[in-house]
Amino acid sequence: MSQTTDVVVSAETRARLLRAGAEVFASEGFHGATVREICSKASANIAAINYHFGDKARLYEEVLSHQLGSVLLKYPPTLGTDPSAPPEDRLHAFILSFFLRVLDQSPGAWHGQLMAREMAAPTGALDRIVESILRPLSQTLNSILHEFLGPDAPAPLVSACAASVVGQILFYRHCQPVIHKLNPLLTFERADLERLARHVTDFSLAGIRAMATGGRR
Amino acid sequence: MSQTTDVVVSAETRARLLRAGAEVFASEGFHGATVREICSKASANIAAINYHFGDKARLYEEVLSHQLGSVLLKYPPTLGTDPSAPPEDRLHAFILSFFLRVLDQSPGAWHGQLMAREMAAPTGALDRIVESILRPLSQTLNSILHEFLGPDAPAPLVSACAASVVGQILFYRHCQPVIHKLNPLLTFERADLERLARHVTDFSLAGIRAMATGGRR
DNA sequence: ATTTATTTTAATCCTTTGTTTCAAAATAAT
DNA sequence: ATTATTTTGAAACAAAGGATTAAAATAAAT
């Protein structure tokens, strides 16, 4: 009569491991995360990771690509902006969607933190991510920039401007702990992100145009 | 006669541990680094860390503050620029010195990588660093920005511009693995850093001036 | 209903890791 | 020269972590 074991039965273990793994990997890193903690958070047995994924490293890779894929579906780089819209608008959509992906605070959204860790400490999973996701993204930005800088703008200049744009965004992700220490009242709600995206867009448009119209000055 | 044991005797063990620790912590992270590897690289006994520092965490903290202190001595934020120099020059000095600190490739210079890891995965050592080093640095930049934006510029605007400047610099550090994949020919020699600093300065000056003269444009 | 395949569980193995111990060696002080 | 003090060395400890195994439980197929 007393079947009191509260074992979750509906969602399959594999999916729960992916969720728990994302959370633990994000907050502890690949090295710091333990299979015991992940399995515990997933209400699964210690052997579950080996059974469903082979080993810890394989689970990590699947967590990463799953998080990346779902956040890109949620916030696509164009945010629905028409490809024929003025480049100012497309740049703004690119920047805002980047902010949304990288600082998404929805439950289960660990993509930003995971990627930040992967940058500081590449595990080998990064190579595939670069080719499948980051390179296309970079080319999208480059083609927008060419509309300001002209089709014959030298590649180093375009790369430098792309870095200037992306760097402004990623700063808020990669330096989050410091930012919150220096600026305790800053939050990352949707409205804040839209404000930040507006600033980065305006700041960058001025910078890009200065680069387009010649040198130093 | 055959005293062939090549034991280093001059430099004391403690200093060698600090050097080896910096290298291993930088390339493996705090979790990934093992005291065995550090001691081996320092030609010291396994017990040396405990004897000289108490434990692994204490060694890590000393490594971090030592690296930070020495790189700030090597590349001070003003680079010798006069405090009464035009703000354009002072901004450029701030940016160039930041680049030099963060991407210094001299042997034994692990400050950039260590800080990048500390950002992605704060260990508690970060708090002191913020107060003793990062906050003063941030105020230096803010005071330069006020010369462009006016003494009454709203704090959020100044912060946003500071973030735009610093973000452009740190991008090259925090995303180094991706950058090298996307742009294999980019190196970080002294001349490259000066070129990058010039770009970031010009790009930022345009952005800042646009912010100073009103809104959206 | 019986058999077969799949999934879960508990217990264990084995390696790695941070730390400790304590004696020997080196160094400094008396 | 002798005695303290500091530093090093080799070995071992205890804990933790990733992986494995064989049995049990559950689901699927015949």
Summarize pLDDT for B54-66 with one digit per residue, the tens.
999 999 999 999 9
Rounded CA gap, B9 and A130, in Å? 47
Q: Are B77 and B94 in contact (CB under 8 A)?
A: yes
**CATH label of the domain that carries residue A144:** 1.10.357.10
Residue B4 covered by a domain: no
Instruction: Check residue A48 and give its pLDDT.
Output: 96
Which range marks the domain in which residue B79 is found? Answer: 13-212
Write out residues in chain B with pLDDT < 50, as ranges: 1-10, 217
State which residues between 123 and 152 of chain B bring their CB within 7 Å of strand D: none
Q: Which tokens hold the place of B144?
A: 């330069």
As given in the structure block, the two tokens for residue B73 are 């001595």
In a domain, A39, yes or no: no
Contact A18, A63 (CB under 8 A): yes
In a domain, A204, yes or no: yes
Residue B47 burial by Cβ neighbours in a 10 Å radius (0-12, 13-18, 19+): exposed
Q: What is the pLDDT along chain A (217 residues), one digit of tens a residue?
A: 333 333 444 468 999 999 999 999 999 999 999 999 999 999 999 999 999 999 999 999 999 999 999 999 999 999 999 999 999 999 999 999 999 999 999 999 999 999 999 999 898 899 999 999 999 999 999 999 999 999 999 999 999 999 999 999 999 999 999 999 999 999 999 999 999 999 999 999 999 999 998 755 4
Q: How far apart are CA A190 and CA A184, in angstroms?
A: 17
Residue A123 has a pLDDT of 87
Q: Write out A76-125 in H/E/C secondary structure.
A: CCCCCCCCCCCHHHHHHHHHHHHHHHHCCCCCCCCHHHHHHHHHHCCCCH
Q: How many CA atoms lie within 13 A of B57 on its CB side?
A: 5
pLDDT (0 to 100) of residue A84? 94
- How is residue B203 written in tokens? 């790009």
Say what the pLDDT of residue B215 is: 54
Q: What is the pLDDT of residue A2?
A: 32
From the list A186, A203, A208, the residue facing B211 with the nearest CB is A203
Q: How many domains does chain A have?
A: 1
| pTM score over 0.85 | yes
Q: Is A128 on the interface with B (CB under 8 A)?
A: no
Nearest nucleotide to B13 (CA to C1') is D7
- How much is the pLDDT for A205? 98
Put simply, the answer to whether A172 touches B178 (Cβ < 8 Å) is no
Chain B CB contacts of A176 under 8 Å are 119
CA distances from A97 to A79, A94, A104, A169, A175 (A): 6, 5, 10, 10, 19
Helix (H) or strand (E) holding A49: helix A48-53
**In Å, what is the separation between the CA of A43 and the C1' of D17?**
19
Which of A116, A175, A211 is opposite residue B203, by nearest beta carbon?
Answer: A211
Asked whether residue B6 is domain-assigned, the answer is no
Listed residue (B210, B111, B173, B65) closest to A202, CA to CA: B210
Q: Which residues of B touch A202 (CB under 8 A)?
A: 207, 210-211, 215-217
* Ramachandran category for residue A45: left, alpha or beta (phi over 0 → left; psi -120 to 50 → alpha): beta
Q: What gap in Å lies between CA B144 and CA A194, rounded to an integer?
A: 27
Distance between start and end Cα atoms, chain B: 82
Does residue A15 form part of some domain? no
B130 touches chain A (CB under 8 A): yes
DSSP-based three-state secondary structure for B11: coil
Distance B37 CA to C17 C1' (A): 11
Give the pLDDT confidence score for residue A42 in this predicted structure: 96
Chain A residue closest in CA terms to B195? A160
Does B7 map to a domain?
no
Closest CA of chain B from A7, distance in Å:
33
Q: Which of A56, A113, A145, A181 to mutate: most B Cβ within 10 Å?
A: A181
| Residue B5 resides in a domain | no
Residues of A whose CB is below 8 A from B134: 178, 181-182
Strand D closer than 7 A to residue B95 Cβ: no
* Four-point Cα dihedral A81, A82, A83, A84, nearest 10: -130
Q: Does residue A58 lie in a domain region?
A: no
**Residue A186 contacts strand D, CB under 7 A:** no
Q: What is the pLDDT of residue B216?
A: 52
Q: Is B161 exposed, middle or buried (0-12, 13-18, 19+ CB in 10 A)?
A: buried
